[in-house]
Structure 1
Amino acid sequence: MNESLLNRFLNLGHCIGKFPVFTGVYTLPIDDVPESLEEFMDIGYEVSVAAPPTIDFTTDHRVKMSIRGQSKFTVLGNITFELEVEFTVIFRPVFDQITRQLVLDAVDAEIDDVELNDTYHLPVNVINRLNEVLATAMEEYLTEDIASIEVSPVLLSVELPYMPPGDANKLTVGLGNVKVLNSQVMAAAVNLLGYTGGNVNQIADFTGGSHVGVGVNESAMHRVYDFWWYRTIHPKSVTQTGSHEFDPPDFVDWIDELVDWVAAVLTLGLVDVDIDIDRVWAEYGATLRFSKFDFDLKPGNKVELSGSVSADIWLKVYVQITETTSLFWGAWDVSEETSTVTLFDLRANGLTLNIDNAEGRVYLDASRRLTVEVTDLDLTIPLPWDVPEFLLDYVVDWVVDQVVDNLPPIVLSPAIIEQTLPDTTITVTATATNLVIDETEALVTANIETSGIGSYAPYIANKNPLSTEVHKRDCEWAHRISQRNRVYYCSLEKAVEDGYDGCAYCLPAHHHR
């Protein structure tokens, strides 16, 4: 994952309240304090994150986070001091196997700068003591209250399509080694379904500047597909029927000859029977029973497929004819009769349709799963029927189409990015920028966009050129902004930086027009 994506999600986390206000009381370590003065030994503090934190990947493969905090101290009962503090936190990145998100665990913190709003002109020793309290508060805030920070979308879904309910039918995610690859990209290596192999040190950066890259090796695809196949509720047996009307074919000429011959024999040649072919049509069907296919990745986003299908196939062919009977070699028409003749009524059960040559392409479907689409399929269909070739060809082509259309999906991976952030209404959209398949793995890169932040953003700006003001969310004037002109901000500073003027009513300190 790219550093810019993680910073974006830190900004989201700050906006939706992932960094809570931390309060506590620090008691000065002084012995033998008179009881009447004990209440003055307590220093109350309140610590909050004033702006979205930012992270930076370092050359020594660490993750540093810069945080601007705001602290408020209460001493001697009711005297209040406010401080702006900047500090750096060292984090250990981990992959949370339960949430399937990248998480930063705080391991160390140091204060870089403190600005005290000192309206009481405190002596240096008092300020030093407040710094000690601040350091203690920050340590507790980072290691106890926050402890870890989620900085990514849910990277892998444990749900697969067409599965029955229950945890036993969800993918298991294991391992989760994390490594900073360079100054811009961090990698997390995870295993699925109990696999214990792999080496995070073999991972190279393949994001190409995109927000996120996901690589899935072929052995993992086989494990996912096997897991899915033996548990899925997707139909593995289907029955399809159809009908087709043909143009009158030449193959029924033998009926004309037969009828002429029979009529001549029965009437001693005094009766002629003419036959007109009005319609020729077929009704057919097949029951297909699919077995699990095997696949082999090939360069160029291709995959070779092999397997077989068990089938029952049936065919009925009908001919509608009009018979005109005449006497004395056509001089006198006696009768005209229309009838339907069943030309063929055939059935073949328990056929094994072997896939001789099948090819597909691997693509990322609408649910962001790696899936196979069959693009070419040759089947051997051993039909034991003695029928005209054009009929046999038509039935074979129809059966091939039914195999392709009803083939159960070949699911190679879970959804790569889930569509929502947990416990929020924020939607995550992943747009693939590249998909490369070779003989060992699939590499997908994507950019991430989010929507729905409007439900959480504390500031709303009006982009109408006649206004260009920013308001607090609960401001009366914010409620009057039309939806098409609303721009949501998590940070007032960013709104001002973008050229918006503060509302005269709710943000008078930032109103300059």
Structure 2
Amino acid sequence: MGGSGAEFDFIVETSEEFLNRSLRLFYEESIIPRVLEGRNSLGLPKLLQDYGSVDYRVVFTEPLVVDTLTGGVAHVVFRADVELGLGVLVAGFRVGGVIEGKPVYDRVKMDLDLNVVRFHLDYVQVLDSVDIPSYIVGVVNDVVRDAIMMGLNALDHIHVSPIIGSLNLPEMPEGRSHQLPVRFGNVEIIGSDAISLGFDIATRGDGAKTSLENLSLENDLAVALSQSGVNKVVDFWWTRTTHPKSMPFRGRVDFGNIKEIMSFLSNYSVELLPKLISLGFLEIDYNIVDIWLDYEGVVELSKPAVALNETSMSLEALALVSVTGFLRVELDVALKFDTSGPIPDILTPWEDDAVVAKGRRVFEVWRYRANKKRIELFDSTASLAVDDEQRIMLEVRGCCLDVGLGWRLPQPLLVRLERNIERDIRRAFPAIPMSPSVIRSQFEESDLVMELDINRIVHSEGALIVHADVRYGK
């Protein structure tokens, strides 16, 4: 079937192939019990009235396999060896059949399970090693089946996959109040080869949701993120995150052409400064060693807005930037005392300058300021990645922004400065969570580790569908 059409903030859909790979690994890791043991009382026929109970031991000899997904249940094929003890009589059997399980979501353990609803035994084979009178075997045929079913009834559910591994988002304070309030909505079998789970986030938010429907799985699983879900995750995270929303930056821009900057500075009466300070009695003889611009500032970030468009995804945000620039020059300086004072040298043809001091000095030539400059960020090339906790994260890649300082500097220098500040703004912007942990990265019952590997991203009616494979390892 194509799904009920019920809408949720986000959906996780798993393929039949992934379910079987998980069942095989869980069998190998003994996450699903291989052995079921116990004792049951039986309504035995008169021939066996001395035996009031049966001891059973069921050993699964192969991994469980999902054969079909139909009628709202999963049909799981099993093979097992069964040992039954009737007093002093011990009989061994090889059995096979089908377990019917209804997909359910364990809200406490956050697992996708199959709740066992019934069993079908396809065959019961007496093992050759069993030495039991044939007339007893004939009489207790039904008893054997009942005993085996009782043993299998101990398997009330089957682990299939850990879905939603953690409710913690990155860079958040400790405590339950800071965990994303994810609420399970529904689980359905979609088509004949997938199980789909819908989840909501219990916070206020705007935007369209996405419905339970066939996501055309070609990988292990698909995650459908709706605009509503993304808005809620970003809002919840931004208001609580410990990531600094105000970050300092500093840097330096060197001049490639000293003559160019000197030509620029010649528009200003820099050379008159020492004369004014000393009432004209001091002069400077200098050679330029280096000239550069130091800058420092603070960028304040606003909450980003992520838009899931029909064919693309984009990010918008606002940054307030305050920056101060210091134009500095390093000189080899000779400080001379002009005995003629403020009288121009052209009127004193004799040598009237005496060297007072020589050395290398750094001077601040000019200071520039921009305060709370509003800069709009737009990124249509943001990419998705998966972090260590298997959360889907949006990473800012190529923000389009225009610093536009307008400072009186040579154009090449101003361009380099603004590019540096743009780079600092991008670095200040964090990776943004788009979802909670899709699967658990570590399975508690073993040292099995699971990782998502994004294969492709599809934009569909304003939703973002992430198709991924799951890698198991240790």
TM-score, structure 2 length as denominator?
0.80
Question: In the alignment, which residue of structure 1 is the partner of 2:433?
Answer: 411
Question: In the alignment, which residue of structure 2 is the partner of 1:234?
Answer: 243
Distance 1:81 1:357 in 2: 73
1:364 deviation in Å?
1.8
Partner amino acid for 1:108?
R
Question: In the alignment, which residue of structure 2 is the partner of 1:160?
Answer: 169
Distance 2:325 2:433 in 1: 34
Contact 2:56 2:147 in 1 (8 A): no
Contact 1:96 1:176 in 2 (8 A): no
1:93 deviation in Å?
0.7
Unaligned runs of 5+ in 2: 1-13, 339-344
Q: Structure 2 vs 1, CA of residues 101 and 228 (structure 1 numbering), >3 Å: closer, same or farther?
A: same
1:129 deviation in Å?
2.8
Contact 2:41 2:54 in 1 (8 A): yes
* Aligned with 1:57 (options 41, 60, 68): 68
1:64 deviation in Å?
0.4
Contact 1:111 1:135 in 2 (8 A): no
Question: In the alignment, which residue of structure 2 is the partner of 1:181?
Answer: 190
Contact 1:353 1:379 in 2 (8 A): no
Q: Structure 2 vs 1, CA of residues 380 and 439 (structure 1 numbering), >3 Å: closer, same or farther?
A: farther
TM-align CA RMSD: 3.5
Question: In the alignment, which residue of structure 1 is the partner of 2:374?
Answer: 353
Q: Structure 2 vs 1, CA of residues 257 and 73 (structure 1 numbering), >3 Å: closer, same or farther?
A: closer
Contact 1:301 1:435 in 2 (8 A): no
1:315 deviation in Å?
1.8
* Aligned with 1:23 (options 23, 26, 37): 37
Q: Structure 2 vs 1, CA of residues 450 and 365 (structure 1 numbering), >3 Å: closer, same or farther?
A: closer
Distance 1:266 1:64 in 2: 100
Question: In the alignment, which residue of structure 2 is the partner of 1:400?
Answer: 422
Deviations 1:444-469 (A, max 9, x none): 212223223xxxxxxxxxxxxxxxxx
Question: In the alignment, which residue of structure 2 is the partner of 1:40?
Answer: 51
Distance 1:272 1:32 in 2: 127
Identity of aligned residues (%): 20
Distance 1:30 1:257 in 2: 112
1:322 deviation in Å?
4.1
Confirm whether residue 341 of structure 1 aligns to residue 363 of structure 2: yes
Q: How does 1:107-126 map to 2 (within 5 A)?
A: 107-117=117-127, 118-123=130-135, 126=137
Question: In the alignment, which residue of structure 1 is the partner of 2:444?
Answer: 422
Question: In the alignment, which residue of structure 1 is the partner of 2:27?
Answer: 14
1:136 deviation in Å?
4.5
Q: How does 1:93-108 map to 2 (within 5 A)?
A: 93-108=103-118
Q: Structure 2 vs 1, CA of residues 16 and 298 (structure 1 numbering), >3 Å: closer, same or farther?
A: same
Confirm whether residue 86 of structure 1 aligns to residue 96 of structure 2: yes
Q: Structure 2 vs 1, CA of residues 16 and 389 (structure 1 numbering), >3 Å: closer, same or farther?
A: closer
Question: Which protein, 1 or 2, shows the higher relative CO under an 8 Å CA cutoff with sep ≥ 6?
Answer: 2
Q: Structure 2 vs 1, CA of residues 19 and 397 (structure 1 numbering), >3 Å: closer, same or farther?
A: same
Distance 2:377 2:15 in 1: 44
Question: In the alignment, which residue of structure 2 is the partner of 1:252?
Answer: 265
Distance 1:261 1:422 in 2: 75
1:86 deviation in Å?
1.2
Question: In the alignment, which residue of structure 2 is the partner of 1:132?
Answer: 143
* Aligned with 1:445 (options 460, 467, 471): 467
Question: In the alignment, which residue of structure 1 is the partner of 2:457?
Answer: 435
Q: Structure 2 vs 1, CA of residues 29 and 100 (structure 1 numbering), >3 Å: closer, same or farther?
A: closer
Contact 1:256 1:275 in 2 (8 A): no
Deviations 1:236-276 (A, max 9, x none): 1111222333242121224678449969x969xxx996543
Segment drifting more, 6-15 vs 24-33: 24-33
Distance 1:25 1:443 in 2: 49
Per residue, is there more helix in 1 or in 2?
1
Distance 1:283 1:199 in 2: 50
1:425 deviation in Å?
0.3
Partner amino acid for 1:5?
F
Segment drifting more, 111-120 vs 226-235: 111-120
Q: Structure 2 vs 1, CA of residues 151 and 54 (structure 1 numbering), >3 Å: closer, same or farther?
A: same
Confirm whether residue 373 of structure 1 aligns to residue 396 of structure 2: yes
Contact 1:104 1:150 in 2 (8 A): yes
Deviations 1:134-163 (A, max 9, x none): 32542x4444x2211111244453221111
SS at match of 1:421: coil
Question: In the alignment, which residue of structure 2 is the partner of 1:284?
Answer: 295
SS at match of 1:26: strand
Contact 1:235 1:408 in 2 (8 A): no
Partner amino acid for 2:471?
E
Partner amino acid for 2:62?
A
Partner amino acid for 2:133?
H
Distance 2:242 2:377 in 1: 27
Partner amino acid for 2:131?
T
Distance 2:242 2:275 in 1: 58
Unaligned runs of 5+ in 1: 453-513
Q: Structure 2 vs 1, CA of residues 312 and 257 (structure 1 numbering), >3 Å: closer, same or farther?
A: closer
Count of residues in correspondence between the two structures: 436
Confirm whether residue 296 of structure 1 aligns to residue 307 of structure 2: yes
1:176 deviation in Å?
4.2
Confirm whether residue 203 of structure 1 aligns to residue 223 of structure 2: no
SS at match of 1:379: coil
SS at match of 2:468: strand
Q: Structure 2 vs 1, CA of residues 150 and 261 (structure 1 numbering), >3 Å: closer, same or farther?
A: closer
Distance 1:260 1:177 in 2: 77
SS at match of 1:187: strand
Question: In the alignment, which residue of structure 2 is the partner of 1:470?
Answer: none
